[in-house]
Structure 1
Amino acid sequence: LDHLRTWKLQSRYTLLNTTNKQLKQIYFNILSYLNIDMIHIRHLIMSTFDLPILAGKLSIPVILSFHDYYYICPSHNLVDDNKNYCGGICPPLYEDNTLGGQCNIIGELNIPQARSIVHWWRDEVSRMFENIQAFITTSHSAYKLYTKFYPQLEDNDFRIIEHGRDLQTPDSTKYVTPINNKGKIKILFPGHIGYTKGYELIKKIKEYDVDDRLEYHYLGSIGGHDDLEYIGVNHGVYKRSEFSDIVHKIKPHFIGIFSIWPETYCHTLTEGWASGIPILAVDIGAVGERIKKNGGGFLINNNPEEAYNKIIKISRNRRQYLKKASRIPNIKFKTTEQMGHDYLKVYMDYLNY
């Protein structure tokens, strides 16, 4: 890629301004000078809506991808001010809220409490959507949530294209460590473990573990949550190419994915299966959807006591555990080439729009 030019914006960004005169001029110059035929917007966070709206006026087709729920609420993973998943329905202000009344947003958006602007935001998004020819997301659960808040999308070209990964599951269950009803239950949590990824749930489940059956391992980042090291082993950050090798040295019974919000795909789920280990996950979003479709894992609720009891129950049924694990070699992932063909088909459909 060639770096053509850099522009310095004169104004401070705020999500409250969905248009910016300077940006609009920059976009117009780029679209005109380069004679752009089509635009695929991967995300508009930290940007205005000028690009799709201007493209609409210029009759340039626009494709918009959904990787989270930013267009439903600026709290892009729909986690509220008390660190709970809200599903896009704003709860009352908590008296003991932990985030000063603000939901889980990135600070650079520069907005008041998200619940005070969310209906205005959805009106703005709806108008912006009128300039989009095709929408893409990566799971049926994400599709359902978006069409719940924007029913008009059901009448649009809205496609589901899974992420492509050039990974394969092992051809056997040789990496599966048989579980028993008396020994340790080893759970490995990969990736960045913040509170949207289940930090509180991980801790609270362990509080019910009075017999010390659970053995936690973390592989990735626990930055800001160092107290997790008191109840588990931190193996530090890793390179994706080394993930499976490290997992096989730890020999966990489960890859734990405890996200409290409905992820739209989840790469760590793919990587966990590619390492040949059964998944233990909260039943929400694409993670729950993919495990129900493929097997190869167990689902728990976002309730610490119920989750702990289910984990112990699973450990008492060795046959069921191995049966779930036996599904993993049959799980297939979309390749990057297949994903590329899916995107190319979208582009070709609108190239002569």
Structure 2
Amino acid sequence: MLGQLSRIFRRYAEMNLALDRPGVTLTDPQGRAYGEITRIALRRHRIHVEGWAEAERVGLSVNRTRAWTVPAVIDGGSARRGFSLDIPCEAGPLDLLAERAAGQPASRQSLPGFSRAGLLRARLPLALRFARSLAVLAPLIHRWKWQGDLGARETVKERLGLVPRSEAVEIEAALLPETPPAAPPERAATLILPVYNAADLLPETLARIARNSGDAWRLLLIDDASPDPRVRPLLRDWAAGRPQVTLLENPANLGFIGTVNRGFAEARARWPGDPVVLVNSDAMVPPGWLPRLLAPLGEPDVASVTPMSNDAEIFTVPVICQRNDLAPGDGDALDAAAAGFDPRAGLAEAPTGVGFCMALAPRFLAQVPEFDTTFGRGYGEENDWCRKVAALGGRHLCASNLFVEHRGGQSFGNADKQRLLERNLRVIAARYPEYDAEVQEFIRRDPLATGRLALGLVLAAQRQAQMQAQSQAGPVPVYLAHALGGGAESYLQGRIAQATRAGQSALVLRVGQGHRWKLELHGPSGATRGLTNDFALVARLVALLPERRIVYSCGVGARDAAALPGQLLQLAGQGGEVEVLLHDFFPISPSYTLLGDDGAYHGVPRAGQGEVRAQNRAQNRAQDRVHRYQGPDGRVTPLAEWQENWGRLLAAARRIEVFSGSSRDILAEAYPQVAARIAVVPHALPAVPPRIAPGTGEGGAPVIGVLGNIGAQKGAALLQEMSRALARSGAARLVVLGQLDPAYALAAPSLVHGSYELRDLPGLVARYGICGWLMPSIWPETFSFTTHEMLATGLPVVAFDLGAQGEAVARAAAQGAPAALLPLRGDAAAAARGTLAALRDLQAARGAA
């Protein structure tokens, strides 16, 4: 137990240890400066070096590990070129290599590095923090270890910093009532619309105000001396015959703030008790917008109300602070959905309002009657007003039951907007030092996440329908995915990236985390996330996609996995599309690797065969147990019922995609009725490692490399026993490039390197002297990215003769690659001897060739 805790702490320290070293000036042998190192840092077990240099190429070296990059010009026309390098953490002298001219040897300069003793000392303060964290996480650890809750496991890993912390927040079912809310009553209000050019937008903007604002509004329409000769006649013609419209014409340009202040003064003088609503000339108001915007002002401490929009900073849909342009009709469709939100649940307090469409309470406008002219032509003035009013007790709300399209940047142009923003935000930061922290906290807890997610789904459906009309896309994909990472996640992210590049969206329903469901809506402008334990809420949100394709990617880790097939069919709806991707064998058995309780693979478990196999009790009794599923309520689902439920999902699938011939055969044996619909589509590697020359182990003893994170199904127990056998014989050692399940340990001199990136492989092979690879996986993998990466390096590869990994190695061997298969039987010592013999034979054959 202590050894396991020690190994967990080592990984915890690697992921959380942060050290910095001072920068240095880079000088040539004559003492002339040619660059500067501005940052040397250790983060997440990698050494990062940044700076600039007058050099064609720069490299980083620690012992036998090297990495190179080509600096990029950072000052136009200057010789100064910036660079950033990172390599796996290694104790030892850290050197910067610089090739300053073609054909000349690289110069070398020592940098402040990280000694073994220094790294050990730095870990000591983390030990107490680690112990405290374990104490706090004890209930979750109990749920993970003793109740098999994989969601608890992921939460523990996240809290310990072993994986990135989730950005998602909990979503609220109350926002989406079963019965649409009643429309609020109309209330008198004064609209202020400052105009400067925008002649192409004004007809629609004005028509929408007249058509969609009800009967209790009045409008102060103020032309700020627009130089476009079309504007003033247009405004005069439109205002004529509309008694609720007052047209004011500035004799000279006052700028946005001056124009708005003129409107404020006019409104206070004529209608002092009514709220004022700022409306930009590029704000396209939808039907029934005004009563919904004004309703929250009924609370005496509410100072301003802003709607959701496609371009409204922290109130933007679907991704916070990420503007996206809308197609005709999108804005009204989004508002029609927003109008069905519960008005009370849809209110969120914010540090500011956004002035493109903002209602202001008369009480607070009387106390702060103007925008500050310090902000020049505009941008930031409403933030300043909101901060002043907040000091008087006023609150600023966003009404997520209202969506107003903002065709932003029309008044000043995007370049001018950016320049004005940068200047004015500096003023805000100086006046209100706490403001930025409040904005960041709003973003972190995102009280509008539910509305963003719901409206994002409506927008996804809109865009997909537009593409379908042009035969450019099918239904929106809704993926059921796990939280375990690995090849399945890489493939899923590739699919999502392909969709978003094409302007489409994808929804991921992720299981196996702290909440039962994590929803991730991915689109061209980014991702929106939310958490819930309520499947009914998930179903209501998915129903916002009238046409959808339900794609099973993987459900391992779900709290109630036995319910998943039925839930997916419910989400698909009558006649909906279903697709199944076989990344593991969860649809065949709760033991998704098909390993028995004894940790061995005994073939494909099939319903109805358990009684026959159970006669051979010595081998199969424990195996039969793992092919039954116990749900969170204690109910046991036998294998027959499990396969019946998943069989219905497979029967409904229009497409069943597997990634190897081995997987096709296994699935067809379990479900012969779907064999004809199984498509074999092997993965392509997202990134291919370079060819690597074999390393030379110290003292001539071979070094067997093992690539990837190794858990029980990947052969962790086998590696543990192999390392002990090799330690006794001294014939070789193992080096795991990746993580090893802390429940297992390698005997010295074998070791676990820890996390790596694919680009690190050449340096790591040289560092450890790796002469060949062993793929130790003991389950029939559906596809093995790691095996293909091993083969791509050109080093000899040995694997066991089962699953997709065996299939890949056999194919490579048939094509002349240095690859060989071993039978998966016998003890670990025999496996070690077989691996060594195979690697020697492969090396000899390559040498002879």
Instruction: Give the structure-2-normalised TM-score.
Output: 0.32
Residue 604 (structure 2) aligned to one of 80, 88, 92: 88
Q: Does 1:188 align with 2:708?
A: no
2:453 alignment partner, SS class: coil
**Cα distance in 2, alignment partners of residues 119 and 271 from structure 1:** 38
Q: Give the aligned length.
A: 305
The question of whether the paired residues in 2 share the 8 Å contact of 1:314 and 1:320 is answered with no
**Cα distance in 1, alignment partners of residues 627 and 775 from structure 2:** 20
**Cα distance in 1, alignment partners of residues 625 and 594 from structure 2:** 12
Q: Does 1:4 align with 2:524?
A: no
Partner letter of residue 78 of structure 1? Answer: L
Q: How does 1:103-252 map to 2 (within 5 A)?
A: 103=626, 110=632, 117-156=638-677, 158-168=678-688, 170=690, 175-177=693-695, 183-209=700-726, 210-225=728-743, 227-252=745-770
Partner letter of residue 822 of structure 2? Answer: I
- The structure whose residues are more often strand, as a share, is 2
Superposition misfits of 4+ residues, deviation over 6 angstroms? 93-97, 104-107, 111-114
Task: Tell me: CA distance 1:226–1:195, structure 2 relative to 1, closer, same or farther (3 Å).
Answer: closer
**Cα distance in 1, alignment partners of residues 811 and 575 from structure 2:** 40
Task: Tell me: CA distance 1:246–1:94, structure 2 relative to 1, closer, same or farther (3 Å).
Answer: farther
Partner letter of residue 549 of structure 2? Answer: M
Q: Cα distance, 1:62 vs. partner?
A: 1.1
Partner letter of residue 838 of structure 2? Answer: I
What corresponds to 2:841 in structure 1?
Answer: 317
The question of whether the paired residues in 1 share the 8 Å contact of 2:566 and 2:645 is answered with no
Task: Tell me: CA distance 1:111–1:311, structure 2 relative to 1, closer, same or farther (3 Å).
Answer: farther
Q: Cα distance, 1:232 vs. partner?
A: 0.6
The question of whether the paired residues in 1 share the 8 Å contact of 2:723 and 2:748 is answered with no
What corresponds to 2:546 in structure 1?
Answer: 35
**Cα distance in 1, alignment partners of residues 603 and 832 from structure 2:** 24
**Cα distance in 2, alignment partners of residues 105 and 228 from structure 1:** 32
Partner letter of residue 69 of structure 1? Answer: F
**Cα distance in 2, alignment partners of residues 113 and 81 from structure 1:** 20
Q: Cα distance, 1:86 vs. partner?
A: 2.9
Residue 69 (structure 1) aligned to one of 585, 604, 610: 585
Task: Tell me: CA distance 1:227–1:319, structure 2 relative to 1, closer, same or farther (3 Å).
Answer: closer
Query: Could you list the per-position Cα deviations for residues 138-180 of structure 1 after superposition, in whole angstroms to 9, with x for gaps in the alignment?
Result: 1110110000010011132x21122222434646xx613589x
Task: Tell me: CA distance 1:317–1:62, structure 2 relative to 1, closer, same or farther (3 Å).
Answer: closer
Partner letter of residue 154 of structure 1? Answer: A
The question of whether the paired residues in 2 share the 8 Å contact of 1:193 and 1:222 is answered with yes
Of 29-38 and 277-286, deviating more is: 29-38
**Cα distance in 1, alignment partners of residues 623 and 804 from structure 2:** 30
Task: Tell me: CA distance 1:94–1:259, structure 2 relative to 1, closer, same or farther (3 Å).
Answer: farther
The question of whether the paired residues in 2 share the 8 Å contact of 1:137 and 1:143 is answered with yes
Structure 1 regions of 5+ residues with no counterpart? 14-21, 327-353
**Cα distance in 2, alignment partners of residues 155 and 96 from structure 1:** 33
The Cα RMSD (Å) is 3.8
**Cα distance in 2, alignment partners of residues 50 and 315 from structure 1:** 48
What corresponds to 1:347 in structure 2?
Answer: none
Task: Tell me: CA distance 1:112–1:139, structure 2 relative to 1, closer, same or farther (3 Å).
Answer: farther
Percent of residue pairs bearing the same amino acid type? 19
2:729 alignment partner, SS class: coil
Of 197-206 and 75-84, deviating more is: 197-206
**Cα distance in 1, alignment partners of residues 667 and 675 from structure 2:** 9
Q: Larger radius of gyration, structure 1 or 2?
A: 2
**Cα distance in 1, alignment partners of residues 764 and 638 from structure 2:** 45
Q: Does 1:269 align with 2:782?
A: no
Partner letter of residue 705 of structure 2? Answer: L
Task: Tell me: CA distance 1:306–1:230, structure 2 relative to 1, closer, same or farther (3 Å).
Answer: closer
Q: Cα distance, 1:305 vs. partner?
A: 4.4
**Cα distance in 1, alignment partners of residues 627 and 645 from structure 2:** 20
**Cα distance in 2, alignment partners of residues 119 and 4 from structure 1:** 38
Which structure has more RCO (C-alpha within 8 Å, separation ≥ 6)?
Answer: 1
Q: Cα distance, 1:71 vs. partner?
A: 0.9
Structure 2 regions of 5+ residues with no counterpart? 1-317, 320-451, 458-508, 510-514, 517-533
Q: Does 1:23 align with 2:472?
A: no
**Cα distance in 2, alignment partners of residues 240 and 130 from structure 1:** 39
Query: Could you list the per-position Cα deviations for residues 203-250 of structure 1 after superposition, in whole angstroms to 9, with x for gaps in the alignment?
Result: 333454443112111211124245214351221222344234323432
